[in-house]
Structure 1
Amino acid sequence: MREPVDLRRQRILAAVQARGTARVRDLADELQVSVVTVRRDVEELTREGRLRRGHGVVRSTLPVPDAAPDAAAAAGDRVAVVVPVRHSYLNEALHGARTVLEEAGLRLALHLAPQAPGTERPLVERALADGAHGLLIAPRWRARAEEEADHEWLAALGVPTVLMERRPWRGSALHALDSVCSDHWYGAHLAVEHLVGLGHRRIVFATRHDSPTARSLRAAFAEIAEAHPLVEQWAWALVAPEAGADGPYSADETAELPALMRKVEATAVVLHGDVDALMIVQRLAEEAVRVPEDCSVVAYDDVVAGLGSPPLTAVSPPKTEVGRVAAELLLQRLSDASGGLPGRRVELLPRLTVRGSTDRPSLDRPAI
């Protein structure tokens, strides 16, 4: 599936702003698109005043801290940030972290982990070898086994480390590691209560299943819907077959969403994340199902949900705040010479933005 232009440009902007300067060819390699595509995006962002162009390089319009007088001093002021490549959700967290770190006089070194298991570890080791003395990290962790494989080495890094949007298992080697994440149970609760409040009683939930967030959301939706006295019937499915790596799944869980919605007689659907939600709205339109007249849609992430037609009602995790609070937590840990601070877990509450994709169920709606 081709990535939306606005989403790709947002990722270019985040990458350049995180570093201050980036080569066009490097951006193309990281985003896995052509150099021509990146140049076209950069030209548009430059016209908007959000970037500055040079000969083969792109510069941020935001102020960049003065370089340290020598390499050793620069390394001493460096904090590494490791996030998955092609992950727009975490770009906003990156913005929040960068603001805090730069105000504290620290340099942020961004490392993008490719879409393959185990790619974070060599990046972290390289960052530490280059002199980074603190780490913010959001491992991809497509499956639980991948997460477990990272526990021991992450716990033994020997430098202050904060997990972003990742919640350590109870009793695991990472249990005492600092972490900042969104309360995705509360986000699921907001979505369900909004739809139930409009009168919807039959709801389909569709999420990815290739990240800790996706798995947390599935568990939250199941718990909330099963216990809710006004939800008459519900079902969960993968937003797309490739969105799950943990299988096996039942026939309903891998069903085409319109077919599952017909089976459940659903009047509403909640989808994680935005791009998948926008694609489903298009698919429903092809089958003459109108949103919100025939079916209400809630997206989860709110990165590009507001750009849809209609704009999608969406749960918005506090992405920028996650990065900001994680960076503040890391700064406190770096300044704790005695090592007396206890490990901390911080959860931030999402919010719901109501737009044009949700309404009361129509009494004379056609069968989906």
Structure 2
Amino acid sequence: MREPVGLRRKRILAVVHARGAVKVSSLAAELDVSAVTLRRDVEELARTGMLRRGHGVVRPMGDAVPVTAVPAARSGQPAGDEAPVALVVPERHSYLHETLHGARTALEEAGRRITLHIAPQAAGAERPQVERALAAGVSGLLIAPRWRSSAGEEADHGWLAEVGVPTVLMERRPRPGSVLHALDSVCSDHWYGIHLAVDHLVSLGHRRIVLAARNDSPTARSIRAAFADIAAARPEVEDWAVVLSSPDAGPGGPGTPEEVPDIAALLRERGMTGAVLHGDEEALMLVQRMTENGIRVPQDCSVVAYDDVVAALGSTALTAVAPPRTEIGRTAAQLLMHRLAQPPGTTGPVRRTELLPRLEVRGSTQVLHRPAK
């Protein structure tokens, strides 16, 4: 059976990090792959900042370099328009995949070279990736930190504010008044997205609405805060609640202290007929659970998903709020290129751009039919 490319490259990295400098020819023989295949893998791993490539030798990236001590370019490294732009995103994050695609497309259309850095699912994982990118001499940085908790976000503020190259946050909006408040950012207006969801349900006659949402990202925290704000302010909403969507959706993963209720029991006990569910995968699973417990969607409960990554693929296609994920990446890349085009030493006003989501109405919502008195 042919070995998957990803697994082969992991083996290459493991050997290089264990041995230090390794001859390419020796590495090919040891891993039992052709020299042509190995050179192709090495070139790609070097391009993405995972290792260094020399004359017939491959080396690990080396020890981390303090962010504030790394200049944007060094002797022998590309500078100015020739220097690549670093993209730093978390691994296995389907929501940000389209954002990454939008940024990459805009940069490639402008003739900018890119180095992609994938941050593992661990606290503080973005910093080493940024340090590697800076050590390689990138000219600018587009980054979407995972920030599972507010504390994790605060821990990144100090070093990220002093990166030393033009930086734009994608789909992240730092806390007002924080050290990152004055950093360029492009983000979805999640308050407006929740407004669309609640307004849609209210317009269909629903007066008791629950939000079952994740709580392990800046997007999730914005959604939860917006729902509480909007539901409390709408006089039509008679009852509302915010609950966790699944046991692994909290900032601490499984075992989170926040209660995860039985969604079907909650709907019945409080007479709720509308639900906003974040994110898509949780939404599809919750709808399955509701169906298994005799709650029909949309006849008994109208559902609006939030994210619209896979919401349309359920047995009942879910009405969903769709943030402009691709445009977030494209706009962030354009903002970064604007910064890079400015003469050295010049600054302009910080830009905090918000793009509005849209509502995709499908088969999971309908007018509430109240029983005749």
State the distance in 2 between where 1:26 and 1:320 align.
Answer: 30
Structure 2 counterpart of 1:332, which letter? H
Choose the corresponding residue for 1:233, options 232, 239, 243: 239
1:282 maps to what in 2?
288
1:194 maps to what in 2?
200
1:131 maps to what in 2?
137
Contact kept, 8 Å, 2:264 with 2:295, in 1: the verdict is no
Tell me the TM-score normalised to structure 2 length.
0.77
Q: Deviations over 1:333-352 (max 9, x none)?
A: 11112422111100000000
Pairwise CA distance, 1:361: 2.0
Structure 2 counterpart of 1:357, which letter? S
Contact kept, 8 Å, 1:89 with 1:319, in 2: the verdict is yes
RMSD over aligned CA atoms reads 2.5
Contact kept, 8 Å, 2:77 with 2:136, in 1: the verdict is no
Tell me the TM-score normalised to structure 1 length.
0.78
1:167 maps to what in 2?
173
Contact kept, 8 Å, 2:197 with 2:276, in 1: the verdict is yes
1:268 maps to what in 2?
274
1:212 maps to what in 2?
218
Choose the corresponding residue for 2:163, options 141, 153, 157: 157
Matched, 1:326 2:332: yes
Runs of 5+ consecutive residues of structure 2 not aligned to the other structure:
12-35, 42-75
Contact kept, 8 Å, 2:213 with 2:224, in 1: the verdict is yes
Question: Equivalent residue of 1:139, what SS?
Answer: coil
2:248 maps to what in 1?
242
Choose the corresponding residue for 1:354, options 341, 354, 361: 361
Question: Equivalent residue of 2:116, what SS?
Answer: strand
State the distance in 2 between where 1:95 and 1:151 align.
Answer: 26
Contact kept, 8 Å, 2:185 with 2:351, in 1: the verdict is yes
Cα gap change, 1:105 to 1:230, in 2 (>3 Å): same
State the distance in 2 between where 1:348 and 1:28 align.
Answer: 37
Residues 71-80 or 323-332, more deviating: 71-80
State the distance in 2 between where 1:73 and 1:123 align.
Answer: 19
Paired residues for 1:102-141 under 5 Å: 102-141=108-147
Q: Deviations over 1:233-285 (max 9, x none)?
A: 01110001221137643xxx531222221222111110011000000111111
State the distance in 2 between where 1:349 and 1:245 align.
Answer: 26
Structure 1 counterpart of 2:118, which letter? L
Paired residues for 1:30-109 under 5 Å: 72-73=77-78, 76-109=82-115
Question: Equivalent residue of 2:285, what SS?
Answer: helix
Runs of 5+ consecutive residues of structure 1 not aligned to the other structure:
1-21, 30-53, 59-70
Cα gap change, 1:184 to 1:158, in 2 (>3 Å): same
Contact kept, 8 Å, 1:143 with 1:245, in 2: the verdict is yes
State the distance in 2 between where 1:209 and 1:357 align.
Answer: 24
State the distance in 2 between where 1:270 and 1:26 align.
Answer: 42
State the distance in 2 between where 1:220 and 1:248 align.
Answer: 22
1:14 maps to what in 2?
none
Question: Equivalent residue of 1:242, what SS?
Answer: coil
1:23 maps to what in 2?
5
Contact kept, 8 Å, 1:235 with 1:264, in 2: the verdict is no
Contact kept, 8 Å, 2:141 with 2:166, in 1: the verdict is yes
Q: Deviations over 1:299-321 (max 9, x none)?
A: 00001111111100000001011
Structure 2 counterpart of 1:186, which letter? Y
Pairwise CA distance, 1:297: 0.8
Question: Equivalent residue of 1:347, what SS?
Answer: strand
Number of equivalenced pairs: 307
Contact kept, 8 Å, 1:294 with 1:362, in 2: the verdict is no
Residues 285-294 or 119-128, more deviating: 285-294
Structure 2 counterpart of 1:363, which letter? R
Cα gap change, 1:263 to 1:248, in 2 (>3 Å): same
Question: Equivalent residue of 1:298, what SS?
Answer: strand
Structure 2 counterpart of 1:347, which letter? E
State the distance in 2 between where 1:225 and 1:275 align.
Answer: 24
State the distance in 2 between where 1:131 and 1:86 align.
Answer: 26
State the distance in 2 between where 1:361 and 1:119 align.
Answer: 47
1:339 maps to what in 2?
346
Cα gap change, 1:55 to 1:361, in 2 (>3 Å): farther
2:308 maps to what in 1?
302
Question: Equivalent residue of 2:248, what SS?
Answer: helix
